[in-house]
Chains A and B, each alone.
Chain A
Amino acid sequence: MALIELRDVAKTYPPRRRGGDPVRAVDGVTLDVNEGEILGVVGYSGAGKSTLARLINALEPVTRGTVTVAGQELTRMSEGELQKVRRGIGMIFQQFNLFHSRTVWGNIAYPLKVAGVPTSQHQARISELLHFVGLADKAHSYPEQLSGGQKQRVGIARALAASPKILLADEATSALDPETTQDVVDLLRRVNRELGVTIVVITHEMEVVKNLAHRVVVMENGTVVESGSTFDVFADPSHQVTQRFVRTVVDDVPSQAVVEELRRRHPGRLVTVAFREGSVSQTEVFGELISRGVGFQLVYGGIEEVQGRTFGNLTIELTGDRVDEAVRALSELVAVREVS
């Protein structure tokens, strides 16, 4: 049984204007998040990602379907019971949402008080958390005295204070520069590895998903349009939305404009060959060409690494007498696409 189970979950908001259509923010999502994994949720603005997160910790009641967390069906619970469940689900935000009336220390103490942790234990727990996120010297600073990255670290420490099993990260790095984003991504990975916290990472930054997530779901108009392991989604995106997202970080297939340019310069036959680590190696593929005396030139493409495995698309120009035969042989080994 998965740690988080969504079954045909829908959330509809009342129409924005009188007489308008209701807003289907989440529209029939079925999804499992396994214990210990990092799930990436990507989608364009308005796809329903934040709403989905708010259904997982029941900040909003569902319109339809069931949400089950650690075997407890949230959709049947009273507000009082839900408050207890929420103490086991941390959440971090794009705008950090720190309490400006409290110091860093006070921010982290807040969830401890809410969870009823005795004050005598606060000192040890808060120092431990501050060390974990690398802010031991900032305990008595106020949020406005911190940089964006430091604020998010406080956000993470605060979210982890009551030792939750789940962390929901809603665009947690979207307000940060690339370098700081990488720091926070590294920290979240440690949260997952060292503390065993299951993380749902909501983002539109594919770089973050690529570096962090084990599995990805892609949302559009409140529904999940694609899901799979991060490697599969990046190596072979099938839905159009996914392809657009993947292209933001992996640009190894020539666009139409590039194809026309390539055509002008390369009169030979152009094919794009897809490589996947663990299947056929480049040596084997190029061996087929060499053995037939087919000339080849790499004209476009790249090799990427995701989750420690490489993949990529290489576009090659083939010249020689036995090109047709070579392409047939390649097609037996790997996915080959004609460039036209």
Chain B
Amino acid sequence: MDRVIELGPLFLEATIETIVLVAVGVTVGGLLGLVVGTGLYVTRKGGLLSNGVVNLLLNIVVNVFRPIPFILLAVGLQPLVRQVFGVGIGNVAAAVVIVFAAAFGIARIVEQNLVSVPPGVLEAARAMGASRTRVIFTVLLPEAFGPLILGYTFAFVAIVDMTAIVGTIGAGGLGNLALQYGYRQFNPWVTWSAILIVIVIVQLGQFAGNAGARKVLRR
């Protein structure tokens, strides 16, 4: 218990690192996932921008990368990350890997949420003379906004999970703290303090997501 108080500043730093990693993962990964997921949906047969080749390629890429366990992806991408960003370990590398994994995970979530929009609504907009891209941005995405928020909340929890794992490739954050000072030094107080903070972060995110979705869905 005393050790937890002693490590106070480290806890603060780790919490901030975790929050930053999560934020980067959710926003950058989320944006990329939105693009890929929307691409997956609109290029389907009968879709707004139906294109068999693009759809097949997107599906192959997503299907290849998405099922890879995150820890293996983090390790496996290291050489590539080193090539492109100069460093293969630490917070930057961790952020890159998280964004990568989050993008593919979120892509499928986005695709599934877009499927829930009735095609007739898109047809109505097209019948009014809206261009296909206009329909995507002004009808498809807004109509799916409520479910998308819930999907992103789900992804958020998964990303928090990732931020703990990247401790193994030299990133900071609460996962790293729990491993370094809790697990390795046989101090369950430290481990559980870190876990507690993670729980609070997840709960806050979940709460905000649910509240947002409720507001958008008006129920």
Could you list which residues of chain A lie within 8 angstroms of chain B, going by C-beta atoms?
A: 57, 59, 79-80, 83-87, 89-91, 93, 95, 97-102, 110-111, 114-115, 142, 144, 158, 162, 168
Tell me which of B118, B129, B145, B216 contacts A87 (CB under 8 A): B129
B interface majority secondary structure:
helix
Complex Cα distance A114/B126, Å? 10
Known: A114-B134, A142-B218. A99 touches B121 (CB 8 A): yes
Question: Do the beta carbons of A97 and B118 come within 8 Å of each other?
Answer: yes
Task: A98-B121, A158-B128 are known; give 14 further A-B pairs, CB within 8 A.
Answer: A83-B130, A84-B129, A85-B129, A90-B128, A91-B124, A93-B124, A97-B123, A99-B125, A99-B142, A101-B142, A101-B143, A110-B138, A111-B128, A114-B128
Residue numbers in A under 8 Å from B9 (CB-CB)? none
A interface majority secondary structure:
mixed
Instruction: List 7 contacting pairs A-B, 8 Å CB cutoff, sorted by A.
Output: A86-B128, A86-B129, A93-B124, A100-B121, A102-B142, A115-B129, A144-B218
> Across the two chains, which residue of chain A brings its CB closest to B120?
A97
Q: Does B127 contact A (CB under 8 A)?
A: yes
Q: Does B203 contact A (CB under 8 A)?
A: no
> Across the two chains, which residue of chain A brings its CB closest to B219?
A144
Complex Cα distance A83/B130, Å? 6
Question: Do the beta carbons of B129 and A95 come within 8 Å of each other?
Answer: no
Query: Which one of A110, A114, A115, A162 has the highest number of Cβ atoms from chain B below 10 Å of its Cβ?
Result: A114
Residue numbers in A under 8 Å from B143 (CB-CB)? 99-101
Question: Do the beta carbons of B120 and A59 come within 8 Å of each other?
Answer: no
Known: A93-B120, A110-B138. A101 touches B129 (CB 8 A): no
Complex Cα distance A85/B126, Å? 11
Tell me which of B118, B125, B127 contacts A95 (CB under 8 A): B118
> Across the two chains, which residue of chain B brings its CB closest to A142?
B218
Complex Cα distance A57/B129, Å? 9
Residue numbers in B under 8 Å from A79 (CB-CB)? 131
> Across the two chains, which residue of chain B brings its CB closest to A86?
B129
Complex Cα distance A275/B123, Å? 45
Q: Does B75 contact A (CB under 8 A)?
A: no
Closest 4 CB pairs of A and B: A87-B129, A86-B129, A97-B124, A91-B127
Question: Do the beta carbons of A57 and B127 come within 8 Å of each other?
Answer: yes
Residue numbers in A under 8 Å from B216 (CB-CB)? 101
Complex Cα distance A84/B131, Å? 10
Question: Do the beta carbons of A114 and B145 come within 8 Å of each other?
Answer: no
CB distance from A4 to the nearest CB of B (A): 15
Residue numbers in A under 8 Å from B136 (CB-CB)? none
